[in-house]
Structure formats: C-alpha cells, structure tokens
Structure 1
Amino acid sequence: MRKVLIVGAGQSGLQLALSLLDHDYDVTVMSARTPDEIRSGRVMSTQCMFPPALEHERQHRLNLWEDETVRVEGLGVSVAAPDGSRALDWFGELDGYAQSVDQRVKMARWLELVEERGGKLVIHGVATSDLDALAKLYDLVVVAAGKGELVGLFDRIPELSPYTAPQRVLSLAYAHGVRRRPEHPDQAGVRFNIVPGVGELFMIPAYTLSGNCDILFFEGVPGGPLDCWDDRPGPREHFGRILELTKKYLPWEYERCRDAELTDDKATLAGGYTPVVRNPVGTLPAGGRVLGMADVVVANDPITGQGSNNASKCAASYLDSILAHGDKPFDEAWMTSAFDTYWEYASHVTTWTNAMLQPPPPHVLQIIGAAGENSRVARRFVNGFSDPTDFQHWFLDQAKAEKYLATA
C-alpha cells in the first residue's frame, strides 16, 4: 500500500486525502489545528463552489451539507453610477446551482472523516526541518498549506506572476438577516457589485455554524476608500464599517442588510495577498522532493471566486495523476507532469482573474452592457465561473468578443 503524507487541512489537501482513502491508499494528514479549534476559530474564506467542484465532493461522499445549504442559482452584476444609482443591473442564471459552506464547518468535519475512513491525523505544525525527516517515510509528500514557512520551498515563476503586490484589499463579514433582492425574492444569487475606481462588493449566500447566512465581501483598490483596515478593528466595528461603506457606495445593497447582524464574533476578516504562480516541486535541505498543490503553487485573487474551485479541481487532477502512476516512483518528473496537467486548466483561471484586476477594456464593457439586454450573453458570462476555460473563446479577446456579440 502506497503511503502519502498531506500537509495542510484545507479544501485541496483534505479532498485529496479523503479521495485517496477511497482508493485504499495509506494516507496521513498533518494539521496545525484540531477540528474543534477550527470550528471555534475565525472565518477563513469566502468560498462559493460551482457545479463541477460540487460534483467532485459528491463523488467521494463529502457533500455533507448539501441539503441544508442555500442554493445559489445565479449571479447578478451591478455597476454603481456616481449619483449612487445603478448604471447597470442584470442577473444571469447558472446551469446548475452553486453553494458556499463556511470552511470552519467543512474542514473541521472533513478532518474527523479522515480518521473515520481509515486515515491518520497528526495535529502538529510542520516546519521545513520536519519534512526533511518525514519525506523518507512516505512514497509521496504533498504540501497543501498555502501560508507559512513551507511556501518558501516553492519558487515564484516570474513570467507567470505579473504582480509583486496585492491588487486588492480584502475585507468580509458573515451576517444573518440580509434580505434578498426585492426584484428576485425567490432566487438566491451571488451579487457582483462594481464601484469603478473604488472596488467591488460581493454578496454571497452561504451556510455557517449557525445556519444559512450571507457573506459581505469587499475588494478594495489599494490606496482607495476601501483600503481602511490597517487598524484591525474588532468584529462589531469591522461589520459596522462594512455597512457604512455599503451605504455610501452601494445603497441598494445597504437596504438589504441594514438590519443584519454578525453570525458570531469570529465572522470577520481583513487582509490581502499577491497573486502568484510557483514551481510545483519543492526541494528539501536533504534533497528530498515535495509536491505543492492548489494555492501553494497557483494563488489567484478572489475577485473571480475561484479559490475553492481551483482547490477542488487540483485535488481531482492530482488524484487522477496518482492513480494513473501505479507503483512507479513519485519523482520530480512525475510531480512536474502532475502539475502540468492541472495547469492546463488553472492557466485559464489565472489569465482571466489577472485580467479582471485591471480596468476593463472597451470590449469587456460592451459584453457587460450587452448582458443586460441579452439573457444569452448573461448566461454565458455567469456560467464561465463554473468553466473559466470558456472565456478564452469570447471574453478575453476583442476580435472574438465582437464576433460573438454579432451573432448573439
């Protein structure tokens, strides 16, 4: 039985671990926190998983909250006008529903599932020196911890990483009591609100420790009015500041959440990170090789909502590569090949996400405007969040966009 060590207890690492257990691998997961520590900790993300990623979870019996979690049926785009009105507002339907489960809920339970399904769980922070010794005990070591010392094992690839600083300042809060848009009272959807030159506000229906809720998630242009979190306010002040910013820049969303309350006192987060692509193979001081996965090696800004989706798809891709490799050694050539297979998909996400961080070119503005008049265009844009590889065929290229709009 082949032995695999997975360092990190997020979407990618735990999905890979649990799917390998389904194929009778000897799997050990190392996590810096216990399940109870995760449940009682601060929120970690704004995850919204689209149909293909949800299907990976169903295949391995990991969709434990699907019945109670609100179903996200579409995505709406609104653009703020200088006077506080909406210069543009439309809603496109997804071909299949998306869902967002608080990672405190999901990762805590998945950690418990590792042991329940026959894997080994070690609660311990891992340093590079630890991996030196551990690598000799396993056929394959996978690093799925996207923060901390271990990320330093994987070199940045400059030609694939155009940014050297965060492109957005991130802040979020989970809240109960957010009303649905009055124009769609029976239809839950992610709302993508754009304030030109200032940033974006996403309203994301989700499921948390206390049931269904909504995530208010601001992406602020650095140096702008949404870049206001350096003082690290407490949870109540943090949420109050988000509401004040919403009232000022997006009053139609404020009307929905003016009476909302935080879900709990750990339900806020602020920060930012630099988008980056790294070499997938890390070399340990003693010469051993480890494989990086998901946001360890491909970290995108969350403006396109692809973080948890990338993690799920990376885990599924790595699973296929591991199974196809049989009993052969997991050497550097195999690690590179496994990543290259995943990169065939992830490269499209990275190109699209990096483009969305820049002021939109005229043809993109034309597409967004056309979507308000043509449900076919709106539906194609919205379903690109499920399959970002489609954007290369019409959204990212001016000539292709003009050709598509002429036929649409």
Structure 2
Amino acid sequence: MRKILVVGAGQSGLQLALGLQSHGYEVTLMSNRTPDEIRTGRIMSTQCMFDSALRHERDLGLNFWESQAPRIEGIGVSVAGPDRQRAVDWVGRLDGYAQAVDQRVKMAGWLETFAHRGGQLVIHGAAVSDLDYFSRMYDLVVVSAGKGELVRMFDRDASRSPYTEPQRALAAVYVHGLGPRPEHPDFDAARCNLVPGVGELIVQPVLTTSGRADALFWLGLPGGPLDVFGGVRDAGRHLELTLELMERYTPWEYARAGEVEVTDVGAALAGRYTPTVRHPSARLPGGGLVLGAGDVVVANDPLTGQGANSATKCAAVYLDAILEHGEKEFDEAWMGRTFERFWQIVGPVTKWTNTMLAPPGSHVVELIGVAERLPVVANRFVNGFDDPADFEGYFYEAEKTRAYLSEVAGS
C-alpha cells in the first residue's frame, strides 16, 4: 500500500486525498484547522463551480450538497455606461447548471468524511522543516496549501506569469435578503457587472452555513475607487461599503439590495494577490521532492470564477496520474509530466483570465454588445466559463471574432 501525504485541506487537496483513499491508498492529510474551526471561521472564497468540475465531485460521490445548493442556470453580463445606466445587459443560458457551496460548508464536511473513512487527519500548520521530515516517510508529498512559506518553495514560472503585481483588489460578502432581478425572474443566474476603468461586481447565489444566500463580490483596480476594504474586518461595515459602491456604480443591482444583511460574523473577506504560475515541484532542504497542486502551482485572478474549477480538475488529473503510475518512483520527471497534463486544461483558463484583466479590445466590446441581441452568442460566451478552451476559436483575435459574428448573423 503506497503512502501519500497531502498538505492543505482546500478543494484540490481534500478532493485528491478522498479520491486516493477510495482507491485504497494510505493517505495522511494535514490541515491547519479543524472542521469546526473552518465551519465557524471566515469565508474563504466566492467559488462557482461549473458542470465539468461538478462532474468530478459526482464521480467520487462527494456532491453532498448538490440537492441543497441553488442551481445557477445562466450568467448575465451588464456593462455600466457613463450615465450610471446599463449600456449592455443580457443573460446567457448554461448547458449544464453551476453551483456555489461555501467552502466552510464543503471543506468542513469533506474533512469529517475523510476522518470517518479512516484517513489519518493531522491538525497542524505545516512548515518546510516538517515536510523535510515527513518526506522520508511517504512515497509522495503533495502540497496544496496556497499561502505562506510552503508556496514560496515553488519557483515562479516567468514564461507563464505575465503579471508581477496584483491586478484586482478583492472584497466579498455573503448576504441574505437580496431580491431577484425583475427582468429575469424565472431562473438563477450569476451576474457579472463590468464598470469600465473601475472594476467588476459579481453577484451569485450560494449555499452557506445558514442556507441559501448571495455573494456580492467587488473586484477593483488597485488604487481605484473600489480599493477601500483594506483593514475592514467587521462584516457589517464591509457590507456598508459594498452597498455604497453598488449605489454609485451599479444602481440596478443596488435596487434589489434594500433588505440585505450579512449571513454571519465571518461572512466578509478582502485581499489581493498576484496571478502566478509556478513550477510543479520543489526540492526540500534535505533533498526530498514535493509536488504542488491547486493554487500552489496555478493561482489565477478570480475575475473569471475559475479557482475552484481549476483546483478540482487538478485533483482529478493528479489522481489519474498517481493511479496509472503504480509502484514506480514519483520522481521529478513524473511530476513535470503530470503538471503538463493539468496545464493542457488550465492553460486556456490562464490565457482567458489574463486577457480579461486587461482593457478589452474593440472586437471584444463588439462581441459583448452583439450578445445582447443574439442569444446564440450570449450562450456560447457563458458556456466558455465551463470550457475556456472554446474562446480560442473566436475571442482573442479580431479577425476570428468578426468572422464568427458574421457567421451567426447570417444563420
């Protein structure tokens, strides 16, 4: 029986640990918090998982909250005009629904499941010195803890990391009491509100510790008018700032927020980080090798909502690669090949997200405008959230965009 250590209890690490456990591997999982500490702590993200990512959870029988979480059946795009009204406003339908489950709910539940199934759960904030010791005891060590000194072991891949500074200041809060969009009341949709030169507001339904809620998520240009959440720890004050900015920049969203209140004292989060791709393996001081997973190796900006999706696909690729490898050594070459398998999936995600962080080209503005009157364009665009590789055919190059628009206009 092969022994594997997974460090970090997020989407990627926990899913991988549970998957390996289901195949008879002896798995040890290190988490810096207990399930109860996670469940009663602060929110960790605004994850929205799309159909192909949700299928990986279903395949492992880990979709415990699927019947409870809201079904997000579409994605809306609104663009603010200079008169504080919407210059563009449309919604596209997803081929398969998406869902958002508060990671406090999911990670706490998965941790308890791992322990209940006989996994060795170690509650300890791991340091590099710990891994130096543990690497001698395990066939493979996987690091999926996306912050701190463990991440700094992995060198930045400059060829795949165009940014050296954070591109957005992030601020999210979970609320109860948000009213529906009156123009589209018949299904749940995530809403992407674009405010040129300022930032973006994402609004999406989520299942949290107290049931159905909505996430209000500002992504502001650093140093701009949305970059006002630094040092704000109180969820109530965070919501006040969120609403003030909604009233100023997205009054159509503010109009349905008259009765909102925070879901709990831990329902707010603010911060920023630099989008970075790192090399997949790191050498410990004692000579051992560790494999990076999830946000450790690919940390894209959350603008396109791909974080949890990429993490679950990373876990799925790594699980398959480990099972296929059998009894052979998990050497540096294998780690590199395994990551490149993942990069075939996450590379298009990274390209799309980095493109969306920059001011749009005129052909992208035209595409988003045409989607308002041609549902086929709106639907294709929003399904790209599930399969970003599709953008290669019509999004990045003006010639391809205009050829596609001519094609659909004539059909």
Aligned residue in 1 for 2:300: 300
Aligned residue in 1 for 2:23: 23
Aligned residue in 2 for 1:54: 54
Aligned residue in 1 for 2:232: 232
Return the TM-score normalized by structure 2.
0.98
- 1:230 Cα shift? 2.3
- 1:122 Cα shift? 0.5
CA deviation vs aligned residue, 1:185-230 (integer Å, no higher than 9, x gap): 1210000001100000000110000001000000001111001122
- 1:118 Cα shift? 2.3
Q: What are the residue-to-residue correspondences of 1:5-404 with 2, within 5 Å?
A: 5-404=5-404
Q: 1:96, 1:259 → 2: CA distance?
A: 31
- 1:233 Cα shift? 4.7
Q: 2:266, 2:49 → 1: CA distance?
A: 22
Q: 1:407, 1:22 → 2: CA distance?
A: 48
> Which segments of 5 or more consecutive residues in structure 1 lack a partner in the other structure?
none
My pick for the range that moved more, 179-188 or 95-104, is: 179-188
Please tell me whether the aligned partners of residues 90 and 372 of structure 1 are also in contact (alpha carbons under 8 angstroms): yes
Q: 1:307, 1:214 → 2: CA distance?
A: 18
Return the TM-score normalized by structure 1.
0.99
Tell me the amino acid that sits aligned with residue 8 of structure 1. G
Please tell me whether the aligned partners of residues 243 and 258 of structure 1 are also in contact (alpha carbons under 8 angstroms): no
The secondary structure found in structure 1 opposite 2:256 is helix
4+ residue stretches of structure 1 with deviation over 3 A? none
- 1:22 Cα shift? 1.3
CA deviation vs aligned residue, 1:108-137 (integer Å, no higher than 9, x gap): 010011112221100011000000010010
The secondary structure found in structure 2 opposite 1:257 is coil
The secondary structure found in structure 1 opposite 2:308 is helix
Q: 1:365, 1:84 → 2: CA distance?
A: 18
Please tell me whether the aligned partners of residues 28 and 119 of structure 2 are also in contact (alpha carbons under 8 angstroms): yes
CA deviation vs aligned residue, 1:210-265 (integer Å, no higher than 9, x gap): 00100000000111100112242521111111001001110110011121000001
Q: 1:286, 1:187 → 2: CA distance?
A: 55
Please tell me whether the aligned partners of residues 27 and 120 of structure 1 are also in contact (alpha carbons under 8 angstroms): yes
Tell me the amino acid that sits aligned with residue 102 of structure 1. D
Tell me the amino acid that sits aligned with residue 72 of structure 1. I
- 1:159 Cα shift? 1.6
Q: 1:17, 1:390 → 2: CA distance?
A: 31
The secondary structure found in structure 2 opposite 1:167 is coil
> Which segments of 5 or more consecutive residues in structure 2 lack a partner in the other structure?
none
- The alignment yields a C-alpha RMSD, in angstroms, of 0.7
